[in-house]
Amino acid sequence: MLIELDSADEVAAVRAAVVAAALPSVVDVVPAARTVLVRCSPGTGVATVTSLLADLSVDAATPPAGRTVTVPVTYDGPDLALVASTAGVTVDDVVALHTGAEYTVAFCGFAPGFGYLTGLPDALQQPRLDSPRQSVPAGAVAVAGQFAGVYPRSTPGGWRLLGRTSVVLFDATRSSPALFEPGDRVRFEVAQ
C-alpha cells in the first residue's frame, strides 16, 4: 500500500503512527519523499492499516524526535568550488551554511544507510551533476536538490560533493546498523 502525502512532515507523522501501531501483518514501513509504503505479509489485507490511517489526524500528529547525530567533515570535496560559485558565495560561506543547519533524516533509500536529509539551506540546494561519477568514495558528503546526504559505500553518484567523513554510515554487524534512521536529527561540523 502506497500512501501519498503532501510534505515531509506528513510522511514523518504517518510513518511514526504506523510503526507505533506495531501491526503484526506489517513487514516494512518505508518513508520516502512524498509517500509512505506499507508492505504487509503476502495474503494479508491492508484493511487494518487503512482504518488506522482514517483515525489518524495528520495535521496534529508530531513525530517524536529521534537521535541527534553529529558528523565530522573534512571540507575538501571536488565540487566545493562549483557549489560556492553556483550559490554566489565563498567556499567558507558554503562550509558555514552547511554546518549551520540542523537536518532531519526524511527517509532512507538508494543503498543501505543512505539517508535523504532535509533542512539544507536554500543556497546549497543545487542540481545534480550533468554526468554522475562512476565512483564516489565511501563517506562522501553531498548535496542534490533539496537533500543533503552521505554516501555509505563507494557507488556511482551524481550528487555534488562538499567533503568527506570517516564515520561509518552502515555496519550490518552493529545493533543499530544504520547511523541515519528516519526521524533522526543530523548536524555537520568541521573535523578537527
Binding site for another protein (CB under 8 A): 1-2, 15, 27-37, 39, 42, 46, 50, 107-114, 116, 153, 170, 172-173, 177-178, 181-182
| Least spacing, CB of residue 77 vs another protein, in Å | 22
Q: Which of 121/177 has CB closer to another protein?
A: 177
Q: How far is CA 122 from CA 44, 83, 95, 107, 192, in A?
A: 43, 12, 14, 20, 27
Q: Which of 2/168 has CB closer to another protein?
A: 2
Q: All 3 cell numbers of residue 121? A: 539551506
Q: Which of 84/105 has CB closer to another protein?
A: 105
| Least spacing, CB of residue 143 vs another protein, in Å | 16
| Least spacing, CB of residue 190 vs another protein, in Å | 27
Q: All 3 cell numbers of residue 110? A: 538508494
Q: All 3 cell numbers of residue 88? A: 554566489
Q: Which of 50/70 has CB closer to another protein?
A: 50
| Least spacing, CB of residue 186 vs another protein, in Å | 15
Cβ atoms 182, 31 nearer than 8 A: yes
Q: Which of 94/106 has CB closer to another protein?
A: 106
DSSP string, 44-97: --SHHHHHHHHH--TTT--PPP--EEEEEEB---TTHHHHHHHHTS-HHHHHHH
Cβ atoms 141, 62 nearer than 8 A: no
What's the chain's length in residues? Answer: 192
Return the CA Rg of the chain: 18
Bridge partners, residue 140, by sequence: 164
| Least spacing, CB of residue 43 vs another protein, in Å | 8
